[in-house]
């Protein structure tokens, strides 16, 4: 007997006579199909909405010729159909894939899942096959024969999962074929890309609404957009370009209560990353803003941490070949001690559950980006940490902002990093315009709540030395004395690098006077007028 029919029997039995000694029908389904003992509350709500909307629309269970409708849809059909239009805000690692995989097994018809990048599409295809699905992958560059085989698998019922990106879906040949495939549910993963990418360099994202509109004429009732982060501006773009302003539900929140948030001020960021890697648990990932930055930092860390046992360090960015990316991904997935230095290209491509520490060497472009990338930590639910660095270099980052809007978004995150006044978790969710309740963890919430946040850069110990001892020193004299009093375990070479950088940022000065030539002292701040 097809499982969907078994599920229907269980469901009707549950609804007519509830026995609290037996699992409910949804738990029964997830136990039988996925071997899981329970669903998280948000998963249950999202799945229930999908199934109720399918029932109201008359979509039968897989293997049935009749409808799911049990005769009640006339009373609340409009509300239940609305359940099928959802924006689901779930933190990374909350199990969003199950939210559409389980309904796809229970309902007749095809599920179309839209992903932003090829690596994520391939990763999802692999995972689905491991679970017994038979997905098809729709992408650019496929031959007529490959496409014909895909359409045949879908029409025959062999495959009920289509994985695609928006670029291929908006091509005329594919757009024409889609209404013939019996698609009943469209899923948009990483839906924030509509806002982050659509209006900048991926205009295909602005056409997703056209794809959905085309499918609606073929009876499509179910659309679910998933994202880990969604501020009010992002939600507005999702509404406009995906849902076309039609009423939809918003479910969930982006909070990750197993992540402790912290910030640290520094002048020498690479050195700060090195020290944080020594202090914190691995696996770790360090996000940088540029490809060159990832390579340079990885090489620096390899050299500086060669004395650390069982540590391996590699870099990852969009400039690597597909083969290079795959090799790094496979290495990192299996490595319990690895440190990956990466750009945001890593963020949506690989699912590693046990990352314990995420460090942002550079300030990300927005709170959305920061929550998305810091959410790489602790997908297994265990305690993890997200640390963002700030300092004088932030000014250079602001110069890369292309518009005033981009600059303001980045400035908000810089203020978040530099401020140690209010809870960082609450501050992040405030930046996201999240209105729901935020249950703050009693411990390990953030450095502010733990009274360990600092308002000064790490190198302040050097400035304090020159401020306290009002005389000039050669750099060698200063490095020798400061090494004895600093708390970071810096070598004399570390201190010399920091001194030269503080000179570059005009915090210290090399004296030109003939009597004190080449000695260093603090730049005197002119008195306020």
CB 138 within 8 A of CB 162: yes
Do 401 and 490 belong together in one domain? no
pLDDT of residue 262: 97
pLDDT tens sequence across 415-424: 999 988 889 9
Q: How confident is the model at residue 91 (pLDDT cuts 50, 70, 90)?
A: confident
Task: Give the residue-averaged pLDDT of 7-12.
Answer: 54
Q: What is the mean pLDDT of residues 150-156?
A: 93
If you ran DSSP here, which 8-state letter would residue 344 be given?
G
- C-alpha of 198 from chain center: 17
By mean pLDDT, which of 77-81, 149-153, 203-207 is the weakest? 77-81
Q: Tell me, what CATH number does 372's domain have?
A: 3.40.50.300
**423 and 301 within one domain:** yes
- pLDDT band with cut points at 50, 70 and 90 for residue 212: very high
> Nearest CA to 136 among 163, 166, 156?
163
Task: Provide the pLDDT for residue 303.
Answer: 95
Q: Which of 38-52, 385-399, 402-416, 424-438 has the lowest mean pLDDT?
A: 424-438
Same domain, 130 and 146: yes
- Of 384, 412, 431, the one marking the end of a domain is 431
230-234: Cβ within 8 A, 24+ apart = 230/87, 230/89, 230/191, 230/192, 230/254, 230/368, 230/432, 231/367, 231/368, 231/431, 231/432, 231/433, 232/433, 233/195, 234/192, 234/194, 234/195, 234/196, 234/368
Are 247 and 269 in a shared domain? no
Determine the pLDDT at residue 347: 66
**237 plus 273 within the same structural domain:** no
Q: What is the mean pLDDT of residues 257-281?
A: 95
Beta bridge partners of 88: 226, 251
**Which range, of 6-20, 156-170, 471-485, averages the lowest pLDDT?**
6-20
246 and 312, same domain (yes or no): no
373 and 282 inside one domain: yes
The larger pLDDT score, comparing residue 77 to residue 375, is at 375
E strand or H helix at 416: helix 404-418
pTM: predicted TM-score of the whole model, two decimal places? 0.75
Which domain does 490 fall in, by range?
460-522
User: Average pLDDT of 192-206?
Assistant: 83
- Please check whether residues 247 and 266 belong to one and the same domain: no
The domain spanning residue 491 has which CATH number?
Answer: 1.10.10
Both 238 and 306 in one domain: the answer is: no
Average pLDDT, the chain: 84
Whether 485 and 502 map to the same domain: the answer is yes
* 385, 349: one domain: yes
Structure tokens at 257: 């209560």
Domain termination residue (choose one: 252, 273, 304): 252
Of 252, 276, 291, which marks where a domain is finished? 252
Domain count of the fold of the chain: 3
Indicate if the pLDDT at residue 195 is higher than 90.
Answer: no
Q: What is the pLDDT of residue 10?
A: 53
């Amino acid at each position: 007997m097809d499982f969907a029919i078994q599920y229907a029997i269980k469901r009707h039995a549950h609804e007519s006579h509830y026995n609290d000694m037996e699992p409910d029908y949804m738990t029964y389904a997830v136990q039988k199909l996925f071997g899981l003992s329970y669903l998280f509350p948000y998963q249950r709500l999202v799945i229930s909405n999908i199934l109720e909307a399918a029932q109201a629309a008359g979509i039968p269970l897989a293997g049935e010729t009749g409808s799911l409708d049990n005769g009640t849809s006339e009373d609340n059909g409009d509300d239940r159909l609305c359940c099928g239009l959802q924006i689901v805000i779930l933190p990374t690692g909350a199990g969003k894939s199950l939210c559409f995989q389980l309904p796809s097994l229970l309902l007749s018809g095809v599920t179309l899942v839209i992903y932003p990048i090829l690596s994520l599409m391939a990763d999802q295809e692999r995972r689905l096959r491991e679970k017994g699905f038979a997905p098809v992958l729709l992408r650019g560059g496929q031959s007529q024969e490959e496409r014909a085989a895909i359409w045949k698998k879908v029409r025959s019922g062999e495959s009920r999962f289509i994985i695609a990106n928006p670029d291929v879906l908006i091509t005329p040949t594919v757009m024409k074929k889609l209404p013939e495939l019996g698609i009943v549910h469209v899923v948009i993963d990483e839906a924030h890309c509509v806002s982050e990418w659509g209006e900048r360099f991926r205009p295909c994202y602005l056409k997703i609404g056209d794809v959905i509109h085309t499918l609606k004429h073929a009876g499509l009732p179910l659309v679910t957009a998933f994202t880990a982060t969604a501020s009010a501006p992002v939600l507005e773009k999702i509404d406009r370009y995906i849902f076309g302003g039609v009423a939809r539900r918003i479910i969930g929140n982006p909070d990750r209560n197993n992540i402790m948030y912290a910030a640290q001020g520094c002048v020498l960021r690479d050195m700060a990353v090195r020290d944080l890697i020594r202090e914190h648990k691995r696996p770790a990932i360090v996000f940088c803003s540029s490809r060159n930055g990832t390579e340079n930092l990885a090489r620096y860390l390899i050299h500086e941490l060669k004395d650390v046992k069982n540590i391996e360090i590699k870099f990852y960015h969009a400039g690597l070949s597909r083969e290079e990316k795959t090799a790094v991904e496979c290495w990192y997935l299996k490595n319990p001690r690895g440190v990956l230095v990466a750009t945001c290209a890593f963020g949506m491509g690989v699912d590693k559950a046990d990352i314990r520490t995420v460090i942002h060497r550079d300030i990300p472009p927005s709170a959305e980006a920061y929550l998305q990338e810091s959410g790489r930590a602790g997908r297994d639910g265990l305690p993890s940490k997200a640390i963002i660095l700030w300092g004088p270099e932030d000014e250079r980052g602001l110069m890369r902002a292309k518009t005033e809007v981009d600059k303001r978004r980045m400035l908000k995150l810089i203020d978040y990093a530099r401020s140690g006044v209010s809870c960082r978790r609450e501050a992040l969710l405030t930046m996201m315009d999240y209105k729901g309740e935020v249950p703050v963890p009693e411990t390990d919430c953030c450095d502010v709540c733990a009274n360990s946040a600092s308002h000064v850069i790490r190198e302040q110990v050097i400035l304090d030395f020159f401020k306290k001892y009002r005389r000039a020193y050669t750099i060698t004299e200063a490095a020798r004395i400061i090494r004895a009093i600093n708390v970071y375990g810096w070598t004399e070479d570390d201190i010399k690098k920091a001194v030269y950088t503080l000179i570059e940022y005009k915090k210290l000065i090399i004296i030109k006077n003939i009597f004190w030539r080449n000695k260093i002292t603090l730049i005197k701040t002119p008195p306020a007028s």
